[in-house]
Chain A
Amino acid sequence: MTAPILAAQGLSKCFGSRKVIDGVELNASRGEIVGIVGPGGAGKTVLLKLLAGLITPDEGTVHAFGNDFAGLDADQRAAVWERFGVLFQNYALFDFMTVGENIGFPLEQRRRGDEVGKGAAAAARSAEIASRVAVRLREVDLPGTQHLYPNELSGGMKKRVALARATIADADVLLYDDPTAGLDPVTSSKIFALIERLHPVRTGITVVVSHDIDRMLPVCQRFILLDKGRIRFEGDRAAADRSTDKMVRTFFDSSARLSGSDKTPIGVHRQFSSIELLSLKGGRCSPPSSLEYAPSGAQSKQGGGLRRKLRGVRSISILSDPLSEPTADEPTADEPTADEPTAASRVSR
């Protein structure tokens, strides 16, 4: 067991009289990808900023690479931060810089710290930064957008630019706050694939806060369920499946339920109305993410395939998503729509 890269002990943080983080312990060792889930307002963002040393805890300590943040002076702290890459929930793109400048900024900053070069060396370095920016932009599916300003981008594009900026400098600690919020499923899958690929396996850790449990499950080794500032559950996927805690089950439901033994015939999300009447018995099936977002118009074409995939499914939960909001041409839905993206809307009949 190596020494943890990031270690939090007895963390507490109050805003006013409200305790937003309450006695959180967290260790992340080299190579780990930790997923943090929890309802809105549980304190996930605050916890991530505490871990990044951006908020000072009221109680407890955060050690990064063995250094207590509280004991560092400004220069030492800057040295630690140089090894961090953070994607913020609100994008945090500098709106007075272009996309290219935003992504290259961490590299520019580092260069300035190294040496203030002029001439050929500096030009070569600038060209190298530009090419790294271009590569990263292609990887997040935004090639050729260097010259745009953040206010010309959609929310999803901003998220991807922010991801590119967080990862450009090969940080050892990557912290992502809701990297796929508001993104379409295809892009979300790509983002998580990228998160997995850019994960510093040998040198560091990744911490992901997300609602996107289906995409987190294959990527994260360990999960933390945060509820009202406390850790409600901590463990791997198997432990989550075994848990009897109702809240844990709700969060990890979509996968757990598909392999479950619930005898109740299921109701299916409106987008799957064509397979609603299938009789479903025993066995396993593929992960629900492949079904969740099947467009309503595609049902007839995919009906047979879905039927095969769904054979044996007893119950499906659908993670609601902005994309699955009813549209005018869809059959009218009578199930309640969840107002929180985390809430699993399961329909039974």
Chain B
Amino acid sequence: MNVLAWAGSAIASGIRDVGRSAISVLEELGALTILSGRIFRSFIPPTLDGRETWRAFYKVGVKSYAIVVMTAMFTGAIMVIQAGQFVAKASATSFVGWAAGFAVLAEIGPVLIGLMFSGRVGANNTAELGTMVVTEQVDALRALAIEPMHYLVAPRVLAMVVMLFLLTALGDLFALLGGAITSELLLDVPMRVFIQQVVDANLVDEYLLGLVKGSVFGLSIAIVSCHFGLTVSGGAVGVGRAVNNAVVVAAIGIFVTDLAVGLTWNFL
């Protein structure tokens, strides 16, 4: 009897926990939606603070390009190794460029670059905004009649969207380079042949899809990281917690939007 009662209460509390976290997820989603609306409104009129915008672009670019290039090269290499096993079995090495290129450009490249970007730039953005909240810098801006959405958030969102678009465009090329090097070293497919295969495969559509994904990931990372940064409470501990949450939610956001963009693309 006792066991049953215990099991019953355990299940009940389990359901309660699930319910509670479902509610908090919905709350976060609602807050994210409201923030998105405010961000879009802050672009009207489109007069961003020049200095803040330059600073945002510079920081986002400088912070992330090296890590994106490295991620991309490894991604290309790994895809060639993966694809290589199959094409070798089927003795169809002439497909390795196509297979690796397809996977990298349309899917793996943007997602991995997005994840790295989120860990690097998104986390940094959350920490920076969170610190500004905790040290009352955001209050100080408002008390100086400056709207933080306009002054702080809009330039960052713009910088992240544009930069992740550019970094995806750049990263894809480095991924193919990494793939070409790997195929020469490990599969005995000369680099020139590999590149010719990629060109012949005519992957323009996939490349464009990847760029669209990159921009959308940039937007979702920007919104998520700004949201968690601006809602920090509870000092330095709160900033740490916010960064943690921002990275997790941004990763989920990347997978969800990846699915959404992929489906929409196929539908069109």
Chain A residues in the interface with B (C-beta under 8 A) = 49, 52, 54, 74, 77-79, 81-82, 84, 86, 88-96, 105-106, 109
Contacts and interface: CB of A to CB of B under 8 A. Distances in A.
Contact of A92 (B55, B139, B146): B139
Contacts of A96: 55
A84 B141 CA distance: 12
B268 interface: no
Interface in B1-36: none
A109 B146 contact: yes
Contacts, number: 45
Contacts of A82: 145
A104 to B, nearest CB: 12
A88 B146 contact: no
A82 B131 CA distance: 25
Given A90-B135, A95-B137, A109-B145, 9 more contacts: A49-B139, A74-B147, A78-B145, A82-B145, A86-B139, A88-B136, A92-B136, A94-B137, A94-B140
Interface in B120-146: 131, 134-137, 139-140, 142-146
A91 B145 CA distance: 18
Nearest to A54: B139
Chain A CB within 10 Å, residue with most, of B137, B140, B146, B147: B140
B147 A81 contact: no
A180 to B, nearest CB: 17
A95 B138 CA distance: 12
Interface of B: 55, 131, 134-137, 139-140, 142-147
Contact of B140 (A74, A77, A78, A88): A88
B124 to A, nearest CB: 13
A90 B134 CA distance: 8
Contacts of B137: 92-95
Nearest to B142: A54
A52 B143 contact: yes
8 contacts: A54-B139, A79-B145, A86-B139, A89-B136, A90-B135, A91-B135, A92-B136, A94-B137
A29 to B, nearest CB: 22
Contacts of A106: 144
A310 B120 CA distance: 63
A283 to B, nearest CB: 46
Contacts of B146: 109
B24 to A, nearest CB: 14
A66 to B, nearest CB: 18
A54 B141 CA distance: 10
B139 A88 contact: yes
Contacts of B139: 49, 54, 86, 88, 92
A105 B134 contact: no
A92 B135 contact: yes
Given A92-B135, A92-B137, A86 B143 contact: yes
Contacts of B55: 96
Given A90-B134, A96-B55, A81 B140 contact: no
Contacts of A88: 136, 139-140
A86 B146 CA distance: 14
Contacts of A90: 134-136
Given A74-B147, A96-B55, A81 B142 contact: yes
A84 B143 contact: yes
A109 B144 CA distance: 8
A81 B136 contact: no
B143 A81 contact: yes
Nearest to A109: B144
Nearest to A162: B140
B60 to A, nearest CB: 14
A86 B144 CA distance: 9
A90 B137 CA distance: 9
A78 B146 CA distance: 7
Contacts of A94: 137, 140
Chain A CB within 10 Å, residue with most, of B139, B142, B143, B146: B143
